[in-house]
Structure 1
Amino acid sequence: QQVDETHGRIDIFCSNAGIAVGGGPEAENDDWQRIWEVNVMAHVYVARHVVPSMVARKEGYLVGTVSAAGLLNHMFAAPYGVTKSAALSFFEWLAIAHGDDGIRVSCLCPQGVKTDMLEAERRQLKTDFLTAGALEPEAVAEAVAKGIADERFLILPHPEVAEYFRRKADDYDRWLRGMRRLRHDLLSGRR
């Protein structure tokens, strides 16, 4: 109610929070906590404020920017992959819990978008693997508009992400082996 009074009625809210932290368990506790706060809890905080009025009106739309890493993980950044998977699960929960309340939910899961964050990751990893198929932000925005119009839960601007996700679901162990090979090839400079 306070959100509606202060800002007016919110029909569509795009929750677009995200930072990147690389490494694995060795990443600093502060980095794990910071990425958890931004990549997961920011979406929770938003939902606390916008969902009640949407439920009361029996309509509303939440779009969460997650990442393909939420579906497929990230070979070089456990904190990023873990938090993006958690964010995806949170939006799934919102769709399950509030779909019958008239609230629609979509998750944007791009593989790579030409942003400063992606460029910083490219420089850090010293590989063009993630930037090679990166899309312009405008192309991603068009995919979001289409996904909202179609009321799709998963908005996948990179069609190949759907195929990778299917492969993961079809044979998890084979997918893990393939990801290990790809990670090894990237680290050794073969890709």
Structure 2
Amino acid sequence: MTDGRPAFDAAGTGAVVTGAGHGIGAALARALTEAGARVVVNDLDPDAAHAVAAELGAHAVPGDAASAEGVAALIGAARAHLGAVDLYCANAGVATTGGPDAPPDAWERAWQVNVLGHVRASELLLPDWLERGSGRFLATVSAAGLLTMLGSAPYAVTKHGALAYAEWLSATYRHRGVQVHALCPQGVRTRMLDDTGEHGQVLLAPTAIEPAEVAEAALRGMAAGEFLILPHPEVADYYAARATTPDRWLHGMNRLQRQIEARQETR
């Protein structure tokens, strides 16, 4: 028990992992399976979902984990296979570069996947979890939700929204047996990092870790009952600096932005 809350034991757990065809999601599905969980692998890419499920001996449910219809279909199929969903890993996410100039559909897609996918899943999961007094929601938020991500306003803004929603869920329902975790890695060696361009290469690539390390941190954090799970421990110091000395922190971030602009100008 941690703070009066049950510790996490993956053995026998019925788990859903969204965005599990690649990267962090695939690593989470793999780590949970190895720990004894019964896993449903979800991804928008059906070939990727089926490939990971076949590797793990898990169950594939391809589809959209953001829209109301897609989330309902996923949870319905997962319950039919597992009996009940004990752990929902809201891992699917999209990263869009740009600022206010990013196309409206890019902003909308980021909002739908990075925030509303979490809201819609919890809306369907909570009645059962509250009735039986147990349930666990793991949101892959990213350190961008604690800090920011230069070069990608839609990602930074919606990841802040994902963190805010996870905090709200935890504050509202933890006394009723619902455990919520916010997984906040910094750079991770995935296709998403490859797509972040100059900003990602400067800010994230130097300290990037493997998806398996993120998954290991997630299982440790859930076992310890932690809300914030930080695979990069230094993020805690950055988060504290942002909260306690915001002008100094913003000046430092702007200095990084100017360095990136200078690199781009020399090309």
1:100 maps onto 2:150 in alignment: no
Q: Which amino acid aligns with 2:152?
A: A
Tell me which residue corresponds to 1:12: 87
CA change 1:169–1:98 in 2 (3 A) is same
Which amino acid letter does the alignment assign opposite residue 159 of structure 2?
A: K
The count of residues paired between Structure 1 and Structure 2 equals 188
List alignment gaps of at least 5 residues for structure 1.
Answer: none
Judge conservation of contact 1:17–1:43 (CA < 8 Å) in 2.
no
In 1, the alpha carbon distance for the partners of 2:96 and 2:88 equals 25
In structure 1, distance between residues paired with 2:201 and 2:190: 16
Q: Distance in 1 between matches of 2:87 and 2:225?
A: 12
Q: 1:128-143 to 2 correspondence within 5 Å?
A: 128-143=202-217
Equivalent position amino acid for 1:72 in 2: L
1:32 aligns to 2:115 (yes or no)? no
Q: Which amino acid aligns with 1:84?
A: K
Shift in Å, 1:187? 2.1
Distance in 1, Cα, partners of 2:154 & 2:105: 11
* d(CA) in 1 for partners of 2:97, 2:144: 13
Aligned to 1:168: 242
How far does residue 186 in structure 1 lie from its aligned partner after superposition? 2.1
Instruction: State the match for 1:42 in structure 2.
Output: 117
Tell me the amino acid that sits aligned with residue 154 of structure 1. Answer: L
Percent identity over paired residues: 45
- The 3-state SS of whatever aligns with 1:127 is helix
Q: Distance in 2 between matches of 1:187 and 1:68?
A: 22
Letter in 1 for 2:97: G
Aligned-residue CA RMSD (Å): 1.7
Shift of 1:182: 1.2
Does the 8 Å CA contact 1:63/1:106 hold for their aligned counterparts? Answer: yes
More displaced stretch, 43-52 vs 139-148: 43-52
Q: CA deviation at 1:125?
A: 4.5
> Would you identify which runs of 4 or more consecutive aligned residues in structure 1 move more than 3 Å?
2-5, 124-129
For residues 126-177 of structure 1, the C-alpha deviation after alignment (integer angstroms, 9 at most, x for no partner) is 8343111111011111100100000100000001100100111111111111
Rounded to whole Å, the distance in 1 between the matches of 2:201 and 2:138 is: 30
Matched position secondary structure for 2:188: coil
Equivalent residue for 1:150? Answer: 224
List runs of 5+ in structure 2 lacking aligned partners.
1-74
* Contact 1:109 1:155 survives alignment (8 Å): yes
- Counterpart amino acid of 1:30? D
User: In 2, distance between residues paired with 1:125 and 1:163?
Assistant: 21
TM-score (norm 1): 0.93
Amino acid at match of 2:125: V
Structure 2 residue aligned with 1:111? 186
TM-score (norm 2): 0.67
User: 1:57 — aligned with what?
Assistant: 132
